[in-house]
Structure 1
Amino acid sequence: MKLLSPAISRVARLRLWSIEQWMAEPVEAQYAVWQDLLAAGQYTEFGRKFGFSKIQSLADFKKAVPVHRYEDITPFIDRMLKGEENVLWNTPVAWFAKSSGTTSDRSKFIPISEESLKDNHYKASKDVLSLYYTSHPESDLLTGKGLVIGGSHQINQYNEGVQYGDLSAVILQNSPFWSNWIRTPDLSIALMDEWEEKIEKLAQSTIMENVTSMAGVPTWLIVLLKRILEITGKQTIKEVWPSLELYMHGGVSFVPYKQQFERLIGAPINYMEMYNASEGFFAAQDDLSQD
């Protein structure tokens, strides 16, 4: 696979021109996305209620559509959870990401359409690769596997046509078949809900893999890395996974954890921050020379 690294690097960087374009013109890029959303939304009940088809400018939008809190759109989401279509989006929505409520005691159900998976979450993953390979064109990242660890991944059936889980569960469950070739652990382990058993199986199943990258919340990953060192008797993670070169983190500030990771890993690797939430993939670090 190392022979393929230069080719993989070139392919991964093909999207860079597009990234650079919307980085250079962020307002224009956001305006184009807004227009696409408005065009799709005009066929929904929400869009008809606020006259999306008549909106010609941002000023029109501000005048026609009031600021909404989650509680304001809860009645719409409740109907979508029951299987009703064309409420907030113009294509069927069969998946919802359940996130803990931050503004109320009630958990939030965020609609995850096929378009949001394809055009946001999965496309953003490709953008992350493009940014990384631009900074490290000689990388062997895709010659091994990426270790992905999340929290509770259990998929729940809301009704016959609707399922929900935390965002990582929804993304894993809907990811393309080929992603299994470059990801570890197996989906059956990744989707486990019982935390202690999951950590043990994660550790046992990944020890012999060629792990080149890791992704997950720092607190969860520290527990896993310590368990792997206990099982193997090794002093550092680099002894277990000598090709490890990247850790992608998010969810919390990495500053309090960086020294712990450096001690556990035992050799320099690259660190990359991402901001991926139930509502969408919002950002990724483009300058890896900074913390």
Structure 2
Amino acid sequence: MNAIEDSIKNPVGTQERVLFDNIKKAKHTIYGREFGFNEATTIQKFQNQVPAVHYEDFEPYIELARKGEKDVTWNGKIKWFAKSSGTTNAKSKFIPISNESLEDCHYAAGKTMFALYLNANPETEIFINKNLRIGGSSELFQKYETRFGDLSAILIDNLPFYAEMKNIPNREISLMSDWAQKMDAIINATKNESVGSLTGVPSWMLVVLNKMLTDTGKSNVHELWPNLEVFFHGGISFTPYAENYNLITGKKINYFELYNASEGFFGIQDQLNEKDMLLLLDNGIFYEFVPMEEFGSENTRYLTIGEVEVGKNYAMVITTNGGLWRYIIGDTVKFTSTNPHRIVVTGRTKHHINVFGEELMIDNAEAALKRACDKTNAIVSEYSAGPVFMQGKEKGAHEWIIEFDREPTNFEEFVDFLDKSLQEINSDYEAKRYNNMTLNRPIVHQAKPKLFIEWMASRGKLGGQNKVPRLSNTREFIEPLIALNQTNF
């Protein structure tokens, strides 16, 4: 906690130290020599000399490192690569995981997570009980003797023995690649244990817990694990799943939000009853923030931690001790506080709908869905939405497909509340909906049960860290979902 508090008191100095530590370690790499790391003696010089890049720009360097080349973007040889779920595009991404990023970013953040939770909840008993984790699979990239897999699999595969002792299921089960077999194995290995905490992605953890209750005949999770007190969750927004968890837990538990990704561990909730997260400034990651209204423009500003403002949407750019340099991660965040620096994740730079100038972000969508659910006693389990493009004199619209755990009392009222809530939350959407000027009323389809699991399975993205794409500026997700929904309804 002393170290965390030091970084809170001196955010600018902490971030400068992190950047120049990273530059020092990588200045003799291929990337460092190409972009003059030796001359990058100030933050401004660093920004002038090193380009801000997307994955596609950086990929040739990653491929070189994957083939076993040393000193490409980070000092030494990178052994591990985290295979992303490809939410930005259909192509898989391979994110380098150096020894420093493994130890000083991901594992250090895990220790920070427990420190912050203990600080917020001194009466915790989680260390007496076991932690149930839901991780991904690991595969060997045979040709070059470098390994890749889900980030969670890499973390599990390298955990120290003392951490492994407190986690269930064991390493062998956690790294299984067949999701159906893995789920059965997890249930058999954990149903008779004393579980005090859960760690994983909300969607897949919910699938496991529901099957656990079915298989054991228990009515709620509290009957199975009376000592369960907290769910550490990340990867996707918890908002669509909150009511589902309230229904199955059987008693009130704590929910602790994490902002972790293959590229790094960025933020952790530090207050029990507030869902914003403390930005981790001393984890080997240097941050830059692009105001969303400038993102992709010729006059883009890249702000550092001392220049951000509360309440504005920013695209996040990171430089990491894994060898990513000014990497545009694709997430958008908003600061709720600058003393200390706390954030909420508002969406993705590419996962929003802005075909008609409405700038609909994921946080808008989920807030509106919650209001519509509250009004119609519904529970949403999964959803996705995309645009209906204008044709001739036809106005545009948004098209949604929503899977319910509990159907609304009146479906048409649900759609009306969703539309009305979006207008109240998002003034740009409201302007486009005024008198149906640009946008017609949303088209909403009710999904058949388990549609999204069936669709994810058909894409080879079942389980682990895979995420359902929520919003898209194209129809690449909504069309196959609608087509699949019409089969064997």
Q: Give the TM-score normalised by the residue count of structure 2.
A: 0.55
Question: Following the alignment from structure 2 to structure 1, what is the Cα–Cα distance between the partners of residues 57 and 181?
Answer: 39
Q: Residue 84 of structure 1 corresponds to which residue in structure 2?
A: 69
AA aligned opposite 1:85: K
Q: Residue 90 of structure 2 corresponds to which residue in structure 1?
A: 105
By how many angstroms is 1:56 displaced?
A: 1.1
Which string of whole-angstrom CA distances, capped at 9 and with x for unpartnered residues, describes residues 129-178 of structure 1?
0000001112111111111103x413232435201001111111111122
Question: Which residue, 223, 237, 245 being the options, matches 1:253?
Answer: 237
Question: Following the alignment from structure 1 to structure 2, what is the Cα–Cα distance between the partners of residues 160 and 210?
Answer: 42
Question: Following the alignment from structure 2 to structure 1, what is the Cα–Cα distance between the partners of residues 60 and 85?
Answer: 18
Where do 5+ consecutive residues of structure 2 fail to align? 276-489
Q: Residue 56 of structure 1 corresponds to which residue in structure 2?
A: 41
Moved more, 74-83 or 103-112: 103-112
Q: Residue 221 of structure 2 corresponds to which residue in structure 1?
A: 237
Question: Following the alignment from structure 1 to structure 2, what is the Cα–Cα distance between the partners of residues 278 and 22?
Answer: 23
AA aligned opposite 2:11: P
Tell whether 2:11 aligns with 1:26. Answer: yes
The 8 Å contact of residues 121 and 272 in structure 2, kept in 1 or not, is answered as no
Question: Following the alignment from structure 2 to structure 1, what is the Cα–Cα distance between the partners of residues 229 and 90?
Answer: 40
Q: Residue 213 of structure 1 corresponds to which residue in structure 2?
A: 197
Which string of whole-angstrom CA distances, capped at 9 and with x for unpartnered residues, describes residues 81-116 of structure 1?
110000111022111001133444321111101110
The 8 Å contact of residues 238 and 244 in structure 1, kept in 2 or not, is answered as yes
**Aligned-residue CA RMSD in angstroms?**
1.3
Where do 5+ consecutive residues of structure 1 fail to align? 1-15
Question: Following the alignment from structure 1 to structure 2, what is the Cα–Cα distance between the partners of residues 160 and 209?
Answer: 40
> 1:287/1:77 Cα in 2 relative to 1: closer, same or farther (>3 Å)?
same
Question: Following the alignment from structure 1 to structure 2, what is the Cα–Cα distance between the partners of residues 82 and 236?
Answer: 49
By how many angstroms is 1:76 displaced?
A: 1.0
The 8 Å contact of residues 98 and 107 in structure 1, kept in 2 or not, is answered as yes
Q: Residue 6 of structure 1 corresponds to which residue in structure 2?
A: none
1:147 alignment partner, SS class: strand
**Residues 88-237 of structure 1: pairs in structure 2 closer than 5 A:** 88-150=73-135, 152-237=136-221
2:181 alignment partner, SS class: helix
**Residues 4-19 of structure 1: pairs in structure 2 closer than 5 A:** 16-19=1-4
Question: Following the alignment from structure 1 to structure 2, what is the Cα–Cα distance between the partners of residues 25 and 239?
Answer: 46
Look at both structures and tell me which one has the larger radius of gyration over its CA atoms: 2
Question: Following the alignment from structure 2 to structure 1, what is the Cα–Cα distance between the partners of residues 53 and 149?
Answer: 24
Q: Give the TM-score normalised by the residue count of structure 1.
A: 0.91
Question: Following the alignment from structure 1 to structure 2, what is the Cα–Cα distance between the partners of residues 77 and 65?
Answer: 17
By how many angstroms is 1:217 displaced?
A: 1.1
Question: Following the alignment from structure 2 to structure 1, what is the Cα–Cα distance between the partners of residues 247 and 98?
Answer: 41
Question: Following the alignment from structure 1 to structure 2, what is the Cα–Cα distance between the partners of residues 24 and 285?
Answer: 18
Which string of whole-angstrom CA distances, capped at 9 and with x for unpartnered residues, describes residues 57-83 of structure 1?
011112211212211221111111110
The 8 Å contact of residues 66 and 144 in structure 2, kept in 1 or not, is answered as no
> How high is the sequence identity, in percent, across the aligned residues?
42
Instruction: Considering Cα pairs closer than 8 Å and 6+ residues apart, tell me whether 1 or 2 has the greater RCO.
Output: 1
The 8 Å contact of residues 158 and 164 in structure 1, kept in 2 or not, is answered as no
Report which of the two has the higher share of helix.
1
The 8 Å contact of residues 83 and 148 in structure 2, kept in 1 or not, is answered as yes
Residue-pair matches, total: 275
Which string of whole-angstrom CA distances, capped at 9 and with x for unpartnered residues, describes residues 233-288 of structure 1?
22111111111111011122212211111111100111000011000001111112
Question: Following the alignment from structure 1 to structure 2, what is the Cα–Cα distance between the partners of residues 171 and 238?
Answer: 28
AA aligned opposite 2:47: K
Tell whether 2:242 aligns with 1:267. Answer: no
Which string of whole-angstrom CA distances, capped at 9 and with x for unpartnered residues, describes residues 158-202 of structure 1?
435201001111111111122221100011111111111111111
Question: Following the alignment from structure 1 to structure 2, what is the Cα–Cα distance between the partners of residues 197 and 269?
Answer: 29
AA aligned opposite 2:48: K
Report which of the two has the higher share of strand.
2
The 8 Å contact of residues 45 and 86 in structure 1, kept in 2 or not, is answered as yes
Question: Following the alignment from structure 2 to structure 1, what is the Cα–Cα distance between the partners of residues 96 and 116?
Answer: 28
> 1:114/1:41 Cα in 2 relative to 1: closer, same or farther (>3 Å)?
same
1:272 alignment partner, SS class: strand
Moved more, 117-126 or 66-75: 66-75
The 8 Å contact of residues 251 and 275 in structure 1, kept in 2 or not, is answered as yes
